[in-house]
Each structure stands twice: as C-alpha cells, then as structure tokens.
Chain A
C-alpha cells in the first residue's frame, strides 16, 4: 500500500513558467514532509521541507504548500529553469511512525522537464 503518492510520473513546463508538483499521503500520523531532487547518476538531494504545524514554507524559487485536511502537499517552482529538470520525490515522516524512528516514506517521483 503506497502511503505517499505522486500521481504524475512526468511534467513538462516552459522555462520561466511555474512548475507545480503534487503529492498525496494517506497516513494521518505523518507530521513532516520533505522534497528531494534527483539528477541522473546522482543521489537524491534535499530541497525543502515543511512541518505539519505550517501550511507553507518558502525558500527562494521553491515553495511547499501543505493541506492537512486533504492530505496533500505541493511544490511550486517559480520561475522554472532548465537546470530544474530532474526527478522530484516527496517524502513523509513522523516522530510516532514505527517508534519514533524518523524513517522517510518516499513517493514514486515525478520527472520534471523544463523546456528552454
């Protein structure tokens, strides 16, 4: 059972436009969410995170929005740049998941292609 879902395997946007990547989760115990970016032949790198006590977190061109009632989060990239082309994974965790292990549960990823 996939507890963290990214229903769009791929997304293509024009340079300068907004990219919106979506993520849904099913476990209401999750209280912390992260986005990772992965380039080919490299490991995932942390991008931005949000705690469940917030509904928005912003870092430069990247903003994550959390809608707890809908169990939905999204990553907005504005403006999108060709260098943003990568696979984006959302991940969820909880202090109380599996005995406060802080394990990350990952989604399946969305391949973002930013066209010049």
Chain B
C-alpha cells in the first residue's frame, strides 16, 4: 500500500463549486504539505502543517483553505473554484529528523475547473 494517498485522483468541476482534495499518510510523519504543479512553474507550496494545531500559509494560499483532521490526514479545499486553479495537486509529508529535508509525495490529483 502507498504511504501517501490522495483522493480523488482526477476531478472535473465547474467554476464556483466547492471542492475538497484529501490526503492520508501512513508514514507517521508530523509534517504535511500541499503543492500545486503548473507547466513551466514547478511545484509551489500552498499550505503546510507541522502538527494538528499548526497550519501555515505557503507562497500561493489565496483561494485555498486546509484542515488537519488528524496527524495522518490533511485536506485542501477550494471554496469557490476558478479556472486558473486547474492544476496538478500534490500532498507531501516529512519527518523532522536532524538534517533531513526529504519530503514524500502522494500520486497527485489532477483538477480541472471549467
């Protein structure tokens, strides 16, 4: 079984709809992240959480919100989707262990907003 799972894997939605992307992990990591990938722009950080009570905005948080329901679950919401939120979304986890910066990624959710 995958260590980091994302649901749904693909989603098409209409402008103005609310949508939630979910992420679960079995790695036991405290830190979780949401990124979006756009062609030519790499991966950009939307939100991150270092534990259930700690939520932080990343570089592109406008239009998004998150919820850390448990250590293993971190969901991303688009309250009112717009077409420029069409992108590939990745969840990632990491464990603060000395000098380790490595993050582990889920398989991604391809979101299309029409």
Chain A residues in contact with chain B, CB under 8 A? Answer: 4, 6, 9, 32, 34, 36, 41-46, 49, 51, 89, 93, 101-104, 106-109
Contacts and interface: CB of A to CB of B under 8 A. Distances in A.
Contacts of A109: 42
| Chain A interface SS verdict (over half) | loop
B108 A102 contact: no
A92 B63 CA distance: 26
Given A42-B108, A43-B108, A106 B42 contact: yes
B105 interface: yes
Contacts, number: 54
A89 B99 contact: no
B99 A51 contact: yes
| Chain B interface SS verdict (over half) | strand
Interface stretch (B11-19, B43-51, B77-85): B43-51
Nearest to B107: A43
B61 interface: no
B102 A44 contact: no
A46 B108 contact: no
A93 B101 contact: yes
Contact of B42 (A46, A49, A89, A101): A89
Contact of A43 (B41, B102, B106): B106
Given A43-B106, A93-B101, 12 more contacts: A9-B40, A42-B107, A42-B108, A43-B107, A44-B105, A49-B101, A49-B102, A51-B99, A102-B96, A103-B58, A107-B42, A108-B42
A59 to B, nearest CB: 13
A32 B43 contact: no
A101 B107 contact: no
B42 A102 contact: no
B4 A43 contact: yes
B90 interface: yes
A45 B105 contact: yes
Contacts of A43: 4, 90, 92, 105-108
Contacts of A93: 101
